[in-house]
Amino acid sequence: MLFLRIVRKNIFRQFLTENKKLCTKAIMTQLTWEEKYKLITRNLAEWLGDEKLKTILKQRDMKIYWGTATTGKPHIGYFTPMSKIADFLRAGVEVTILFADLHAYLDNMKAPWELLELRTQYYEAVIKSMLKSIDVPLDKLKFIKGTEYQLTKEYSLDVYRLSSIVTEHDAKKAGAEVVKQIANPLLSGLLYPGLQALDEEYLKVDAQFGGVDQRKIFTFSEKYLPSLGYEKRIHLMNPMIPGLAGAKMSSSENDSKIDLLDNAASVKKKLKKAFCEPGNITDNGLLSFSKHVLFPLFKNGESFQISRTEEFGGDVNFSTYEELEAAFKKEAIHPGDLKGAVEIYINKLLDPIRKEFADDPKLKALSNKAYAAPQKPKQIDEIVPSRLDIRVGKIVEITRHPDADSLYVEKIDVGDATGPRTIVSGLVNFVPIEEMKDRMVVVLANLKPANLRGISSHGMVLCASVDEPIRAVEPLRPAVGSVAGEKIIIEGYENGNPDDVLNPKKKVWEKLQADLIVNGNGEANWSGNPLLSTSGKITADSLKNVPIK
């Protein structure tokens, strides 16, 4: 009898193992539509189409897609959408992950198709590994490449149909948060929102999931798809969580992200440098990661543990994120203790991913080919904005030019050891002299000196400028608290060295100036990258969507 019981027990265990997916499905079907709704919408920043969402869930399981362009290497920030995709799958949703390889190719055609194919393979491998690391069933998950349908006759015809009814204004507005805004936008950037809208129809889904920075594209889709005779979809939006440096987590900023294959020592090093101000719960990437990734993954009875010595209060546990946030806000939790706890949890998430890629030579080779080590540094003659010496200046003296009615002669402190510089500016007809006195301005300091009506000018006051319908010019304004002589950087180009003097024959300034604009928020940027002092962004007082000259 004992032998029979053991045999039966082993058979039952084998049945459970072999039918894990079926068991998971059975559990899913036991959820009520209200429970599925709660899983689908928890921790979202916003969703559009709530009544339709409820109606579908009362009748059947949903179909949702999430898209990602296969460009930058996936980092730990991808656990934020993966955590929601885990919620969707547990709610019985059929999830399609779209690898937008065509969108990636249109991103200034930086990568050839061969490399994009490798990156698409890497994305699929690493996303599957991420979901397995958080114990998510994959039976209702599928992957598709954009080029599998976006190059068909039908899709291309719909792109043309859409382009016949979409205005330039609506296309630019829809892509404002996700497409780099430049003075002379490329047509590919204007097409981007329409392509993303059409994906909803061609993937035959009920809803699209993305970050809240996609909201304008989602409302664009809701406006224009019905004009083509297609159904308006539901839109689910994740919040944008800050990176380790305090801003948006970015693939291009190495200190802002932790790579999925980073070793434990690298994780510790990056977390040590992470921005984590005592009591600050707003710009805190560690708290945001805890809220949107760690806490949703805890099983019943699990809690967030912070280990401390008895001298500093001993170990403490938090069963909800709200308790952790409140304790950090009151400074009952030290930033160092929070970093130590998050480090442990991050390594638990990454351990199975690292192990899978380390143990599989094919995956290791794929990672190396898809994201090869950086080549040698770019040559000095490359036209990059770090070659510009842009500084905060303070006007300490100003007079009218004795021989030119439209020119001011200014003495501007830009931090030179030799004292203020003489700079001639054509602002007489645009800014009263009283408003220029003691004003903080933005100065391009490494132009070759120019003789303007007998006076040598050693720089240029950068201004927002528009010629039509009425000519208007206003000097850019540094953020409050900026100091004369302070270097102004362009985000993403912080590490370069400016030329001593810009060579006028190579027209470095003229080529870079073409992409310097004040955007729709009144903020100065180059090719979509903001100009920053240590105190904040550079702005114009009133002009928007105009060039900087």
Tell me: the pLDDT tens digits for 4-47? 444 444 444 443 344 434 334 434 448 999 999 999 999 899 99
Torsion angle, CA of 245/246/251/255, rounded to 10 degrees? 0
Rounded-to-integer distance, Cα 362 and Cα 359, Å: 9
pLDDT at 317: 93
Lowest mean pLDDT among 208-212, 242-246, 428-432, 433-437: 242-246
The distance in angstroms from the start CA to the end CA of the chain is: 92
H/E stretch holding 475: strand 472-475
- CA neighbor of 350 nearest in space, from 126, 90, 69: 126
Q: Pairing relation of β-strands 516-518 and 546-547?
A: antiparallel
469 preceded by cis ω (within 30°)? yes
Distance CA 288, CA 290 (A): 5
Average pLDDT over residues 182-204: 85
Confidence of residue 151 (pLDDT cuts 50, 70, 90): very high
Tens of pLDDT along 469-518? 788 999 999 999 999 999 999 988 888 889 999 988 888 999 999 899 99
53-75 pLDDT, tens per residue?
999 999 999 999 999 988 888 99
**Hey, what are 475's tokens?**
């000097």
Q: What is the pLDDT of residue 144?
A: 96
Q: What value does the mean pLDDT of the chain take?
A: 87
Q: What pLDDT, on a 0 to 100 scale, did the predictor assign at position 399?
A: 95
Residues 6+ apart with CB under 8 A from 366: 118, 121, 122, 125
3-state secondary structure of 318: strand
- φ/ψ of residue 184, rounded to 5: -120, 85
Closest listed residue to residue 408, CA positions, set 389, 434, 388, 446: 434
pLDDT at residue 390 greater than cutoff 90: yes
- Contacts of residue 159, defined as CB under 8 A and 6 or more positions apart, other chains included, come to 191, 194, 195, 198
Cα separation values, 329 from 231, 241, 244, 246, 341, Å: 45, 18, 18, 16, 17
Position 77 pLDDT exceeds 50? yes
Residue type, 232: K
Identify the band that residue 378 occupies on the pLDDT scale cut at 50, 70 and 90: low
- 66-79 residues labelled b (16+ CB within 10 A) or e (exposed): bbbbbbebbbbbbb
